[in-house]
Structure 1
Amino acid sequence: MSDKLKDIIKTQNEQQEPGIDHSDNIVQLVGFIIGEEEYAVPILTIQEIIKPISWTRVPQTPEYVLGVFNLRGSVIPLIDLRTKFGLPAKNHNDETRFFVLKQGDEVAGFVIDRLTAAIRIKKTDIGPPPDTIASDESMIDGVGKQAGRILTILKVNKLLERDF
């Protein structure tokens, strides 16, 4: 886990609200920005968050698959979430990060515009996806509401699903 993520988690733990039940009623997520929107995934599905490194383009893959990169001997596909979500591509900057998600045997890297924070949110503050997009095929697991902000919680299994 990167030092920045460890610092975010430490800060989040220090800022916990008194009186909140920190048992299974709390969901721990990592928030990130793509375009103008904030998204989140469960913290335990993140294997690593790193600064961008070089990757190799793979021919005949969808536009949003940038290619593959080598992370300590493992070759991992790299997916640009901006392009996957229908936004125009953007040059990487100092805030751009790659995060590596792992669920079971599935692993992939994703390009995000900016990391926001480790988030602890009550399950009761997470609603279902809007009816217009609620389906098993949707990437949206739910919508979290916290401190005046709304974040879209993504289904990790759908992000990791291979269609290339």
Structure 2
Amino acid sequence: MAQSLSRPRHDPLKNLVAFVIGDVNYAFSIDCVREIVNPLPVIELPSSPSAVAGVADYRGDVVPVIDLRVRFGLPPVTVTRRTKWILVEVGSVQVPRAHLSPSVMPGSRLVAVIVDGVTDVFGTGGAELRPAPPLGAGDDVRGIAGVTYFADLMVFVLDPTRFAGITDALMEGAGVAYALPGEAPS
């Protein structure tokens, strides 16, 4: 009797992609994560915001690369084997992964976020995120959507739409026009 080789399905209870920056644990909703990749060559752009490492060619798309260490006021570090890029979609209403087309969703952009290491994919167990603590100046830079716990560690869940403004400014300043698949650049 032949065995059926079925592909494992995404566990809907695992809705967060966890990563570290320095000694702090963060996560993105899995619904906005396109892919996790090893770092690619980066082209630095003049007069770009300090947190923007530059742009990279990711499968034919030019994507801004944001260094979260710099954005959070930490010193940059040397790239290691653990260093990863999380490609996230910013600037659109997030939809379940099953509804995403192979290309970027209309109204959104792809951004590569440099992290010190990806640690796990986990879920909140049905619990809602706790509200982010108001920390005053810099709340927009941090972009914390809420707080949860995983393996007895506090994890700050980031809102990727907070990166839309920095990428807009970068692309306008560089004279780069984003074009969605099948559209001409504006």
TM-score (norm 2): 0.69
Measured on the aligned residues, the alpha-carbon RMSD in Å equals 2.4
Matches of 1:115 and 1:99 in 2, distance apart?
8
Corresponding residue of 2:57: 70
Corresponding residue of 2:176: none
8 Å Cα contact 2:63/2:110 also seen in 1: yes
Please list every run of 5 or more consecutive structure 1 residues that lacks an aligned counterpart in the other structure: 1-9, 14-21
The number of equivalent residue pairs is: 143
Structure 1 residue matching 2:50: 3-state secondary structure: coil
Output aligned runs, 1:1-164, within 5 Å. 13=11, 28-103=15-90, 104=92, 105-124=108-127, 126-133=129-136, 137=140, 139-162=143-166, 163-164=169-170
8 Å Cα contact 1:33/1:116 also seen in 2: yes
Identity of aligned residues (%): 28
Q: Deviations over 1:78-120 (max 9, x none)?
A: 1100000000010100000111111432221111000000011
TM-score (norm 1): 0.78
Change (3 A) 1:52 1:63: same
Larger mean Cα displacement after TM superposition, 127-136 or 26-35: 127-136
Q: Deviations over 1:122-148 (max 9, x none)?
A: 343521011335998461110102331
Matches of 1:72 and 1:147 in 2, distance apart?
35
Corresponding residue of 1:18: none
8 Å Cα contact 1:107/1:160 also seen in 2: no
Change (3 A) 1:135 1:63: closer
